[in-house]
Amino acid sequence: METTHVVILVLYLLGLVATGIWFSRSKKVATGDDFVFAGRRLPVIVMVGTLIATWVGSGTIIGGASFVYAYGPVAGLIYFASAPVGMIVLYFLAQRIRNAESYTVPQILEARFGVSVRMLAAVVTILAYVGITAYQFTGGGNIIGMVTGLDAGTGAIIAAVIITFLALGGGLKSVAWSDFFSAGVIIAGLLIAIPLVLGQTDGFTGWWDGLAPDQTTATGGLGWLAMLGYLLPTFLLILADQNMYQRLGASRDAAAARKSMAGMFFASWLIYLPVVVLATASISILPDLETADDAVLGLAGHGILPVVLGGIILASALAFIITTGSSFLLSVGGNIVYDGFNRFGKELGDKARVTIHRITILVIAVIAYVLGTFFPTVLELQMYSYTVYGVALVPALFSAFFWRRATTPGVLASMALGVIVTIVWEQAADSDLNAVVVSLPVALVALVVVSLVTKPATTVLPDELATDDADSAAEASAAEGETRSG
């Protein structure tokens, strides 16, 4: 245990807690929009920080680094590239997402396919997001254990408590600003670490020469189908990630949403590239790691980096994991509040919505912690959660945006079969292939076939989904208002 690491970690965590306390004041979180969308007043630079920090949690710092350590840098770059490709797609959808002003992704689906699709989508989102929250607890516990000498289980409890507190406090306001600060710190730390670490591997030549033959190939020794099984879950998740949609909804306007997504694309490479380089260096510097999850963080925890820099990287990596976990808790709590209570009960006031949201967060946090104890590695739980969500939601969501012939029965069949096949494959199939290579084709075929043999309720997309710019959306809204008043 390195005392300096402990001090830096504690100070960093105290800063996060202070942020949560500051934004939990009633005047900062007076309405449901304040809690979920930060009042829709986040500046673009803060939007970029919170987008990147929300996406880059333990799935990148731990799960992604583990993949690079096992399969090499070329395969790692291909693996990480799936998310930026998804960011490009979201860039072109950003205006539509902002104009929709929806609290949840299932709410967007109801506008096109009705309440039955919304309810199934809400169930799938809750199922997947609880899993994603669970591996943030696990990843945070790993870092706390590495720094303090505590066992990982105790560290996971500490991480869970802090993650839950931050989500309970100021909602997106506290999460977004702590995201922004943490993003800047970890990007700086990772970039500074690269030359220091490469200096211990004889530069680029030593960094590459220490690899096994399979680790120098494009797939790291995996078959292309197996490689696809790792790429697709991440790509699908970001395309339909409710956190992304809620943050784009929190931007000041549609133009700011698009700028934020462009900024996220470029900022993501400032993290992905250093993670690939550092995790690859660990193959030769730390060849006997007990777990590949420590491929990047082990460089800081095992004294390879200068002690202060190592402490900063560990603390900011933990902060990323904490704010990512808080974001998913906040998001899935919104499904229960807005897709459940607010949709089927009487209209809730602002105070009631915030109160129920906070109670829901507490319950989900407990469930997520229990779930995390059943999965031995972050990467395993990551792939499972990503696949369940992406396979079920992406075909449905993109049908809502782009395919006028899609029907409610087709979407329901696609979502249900996608989830069922994923779960059955993961639990029963004797194969190293991730379920997505089977469940995604099944979901797509079900969507197309059932939609073509059933009658669509409408051939017109809702205005908020079909519109490409804010002016057109405003015109459509005004026309609707005139019709109703007439």
Q: How confident is the model at residue 142 (pLDDT cuts 50, 70, 90)?
A: confident
Q: How far is CA 197 from CA 194, 285, 286, in A?
A: 5, 9, 11
| pTM given for the model | 0.78
Q: Which fold has domain 3-391?
A: Sodium/glucose cotransporter (1.20.1730)
Q: Which residue has the tokens 């696809």?
A: 228
Q: How many percent of the chain have pLDDT more than 90?
A: 21
Nearest-CA neighbor of 364 among 409, 404, 331, 405? 331
Q: Which residue has the higher pLDDT, 219 or 303?
A: 219
Span 23-40, average pLDDT = 59
- Give the pLDDT score at 463: 54
Question: If pLDDT is split at 50, 70 and 90, which confidence band does 203 have?
Answer: low
What's the mean per-residue pLDDT of the chain? Answer: 81
Average pLDDT over residues 209-220: 87
Answer whether residue 378 shows pLDDT above 70. no
Q: List, for residues 401-422, the tens digit of each pLDDT value.
A: 888 899 999 999 999 999 999 8
What is the average per-residue pLDDT within 216-238?
88
Average pLDDT estimate for 221-247: 87
The Cα 354–Cα 362 span in angstroms is 13
Residue 39 DSSP label: G
pLDDT in tens, 122-137: 988 888 888 888 878 8
Token pair listed for 107? 């709410």
235 pLDDT higher than 80: yes
Q: Is the dihedral of CA 407, 482, 465, 397 positive or negative?
A: negative
Q: How far is Cα 442 from Cα 447, in angstroms, rounded to an integer?
A: 9
pLDDT confidence of 485, banded at 50, 70, 90?
very low
As beta bridge partners, residue 42 has 251
Helices (H), 101-223: 105-113, 115-148, 152-168, 172-198, 203-209
Per the CB < 8 A criterion, the answer to whether 57 and 237 are in contact is no
Q: How confident is the model at residue 376 (pLDDT cuts 50, 70, 90)?
A: low
